[in-house]
Amino acid sequence: MPDIDKYAVFGNPIKQSKSPTIHSAFASQCGQSIQYRAVRVEEGDFERAARAFFKEGGHGLNVTVPFKQDAFKLADRLSERARRAGAVNTLTLAEDGTIDGDNTDGIGIVRDMIANLGWMVQGMRVLIIGAGGAVRGVLEPLLRERPKALLIVNRTAARAEQLATEFSDLGPVEGGGYDCIGSRQFDLVINASSAGLAGEVPDLPADLLTEHSCCYDMVYGNDPTPFMRWAAQQAAWAVADGLGMLVEQAAESFYVWRRQRPETQSVITELRVGMEAA
């Protein structure tokens, strides 16, 4: 009987990870047998743990906070989207024993917004709140959709300005502090700041949205996030969290590893029902 291909997600913390559930659902759907588990890795131990995983027969790794830059350094080869993101969330053991690094976060958010939610990015005025690694990972796919304009704002303006400079070859992107928003309105607002983790809402103007604006929070939870509640109070046309992004980026990782593209909507629905029942 052949060995079952082994996969895992490395992170810290990792207890809350839904990746094993998601990939098990994908494997069942595609008629494949895999083993997928969540592994807590101590900070400073990522490279040793990852190399040991592959040496012991592992086929692929997902990588989450705080190890995406470590995975970037570990990879022997990088996809173009990983290179632009400066971070890796998907590692694959190649046939020659080397390690390929990819980043599926950006394609995850774009697929969720366009395919699942029916939102538009092309021709839209886009505001991104935050300038950390999560933003770096999604900028290229968002700009490939050709928005009319994209503004990155961050408490530390220099970080947003740096990101805008790095990605300016892909489209009309600008960066700065919150004061850059001024009286402008946006069709799509993406929250990638850490404010919600502290139960806070970014300091945003009340007249930021139009009656057709969509608001997306890259995090998710059993209840609406503070940003989602703010967006609803501002009468946003549509509001969503990042659960669909999580599933879509996982589906892209599954495709990278198994060359089969799973159906995602049923998995998103199943996870949502489970969260609401919790």
Which parts of 56-114 fold into alpha helices (H)?
68-74, 80-85, 105-111
Question: 35 forms bridges with which residues in the sheet?
Answer: 6
* Annotated binding-site positions for NADP(+): 80, 130-134, 154-159, 218, 242
Q: In the prediction, which pLDDT does 202 show?
A: 84
Q: In the prediction, which pLDDT does 28 show?
A: 96
* CA separation, residue 129 to residues 7, 20, 92, 120 (Å): 33, 29, 31, 18
* Annotated binding-site positions for shikimate: 17-19, 64, 89, 105, 220, 249
What structural domains does the chain harbor? 5-102+244-277 (3.40.50.10860), 106-240 (3.40.50.720)
* Annotated binding-site positions: 17-19, 64, 80, 89, 105, 130-134, 154-159, 218, 220, 242, 249
Q: In the prediction, which pLDDT does 197 show?
A: 62
Q: In the prediction, which pLDDT does 1 show?
A: 40
Q: What stretches in the chain show pLDDT beneath 50?
A: 1
Q: In the prediction, which pLDDT does 196 show?
A: 63
Q: What SS3 class is residue 209?
A: strand
Query: Given the structure tokens 């570990």, which residue do they identify?
Result: 74
Average pLDDT, the chain: 94
Residues recognised as catalytic: 68
What is the rounded distance in angstroms from the CA atom of residue 64 to the CA atom of residue 61? Answer: 10
